[in-house]
Amino acid sequence: GAVVSQHPSRVICKSGTSVKIECRSLDFQATTMFWYRQFPKQSLMLMATSNEGSKATYEQGVEKDKFLINHASLTLSTLTVTSAHPEDSSFYICSARDPTTGGNYGYTFGSGTRLTVV
């Protein structure tokens, strides 16, 4: 089945620094990837839709200058949290859809990244 790899799984960074999270589709080409943020004991909140070769589409309330998304190839999307602050600490999960399995039937999640900003 479709596999989405996310790296790193955990990262601790100092306040003010930037952190890059990678999301890779391992066995399929994903023209669209999605980035979610999840607070403890809360649901998945869609942050942005990453489109290969074009600008990402951000959800209302998500700062695009703070959460930079780059989808440079059909298998890789990156989320960079710039000038991170403690309130950015969260669980970030990417997902992708394998178009060969038929639309959203092939929706798969990455393993998530636990970001802690100290």
Partner 1 sequence: GENVEQHPSTLSVQEGDSAVIKCTYSDSASNYFPWYKQELGKRPQLIIDIRSNVGEKKDQRIAVTLNKTAKHFSLHITETQPEDSAVYFCAASIVWGNQFYFGTGTSLTVIP
User: Which stretches of the chain bind partner 1, using CB under 8 A?
Assistant: 32, 34, 41-44, 46, 49, 91, 93, 102-105, 107, 109-112, 114
Q: Which is nearer to partner 1, 27 or 83 (CB)?
A: 27
Q: What are the backbone angles phi and psi of residue 88, rounded to the nearest 5°?
A: -85, -10
Shortest spacing between CB 60 and partner 1, in angstroms? 10
CA-derived radius of gyration, the chain: 14
Confirm if 17 and 107 have CB atoms less than 8 A apart: no
User: Residue 100: helix, strand or coil by DSSP?
Assistant: helix
Q: Smallest distance from the beta carbon of 83 to partner 1, in angstroms?
A: 26
- Closer of 82 and 112 to partner 1 (Cβ): 112
Task: State the nearest-atom distance from the C-beta of 41 to partner 1, in Å.
Answer: 7
Among residues 118, 98, 91, which one has the least CA distance to residue 10? 91
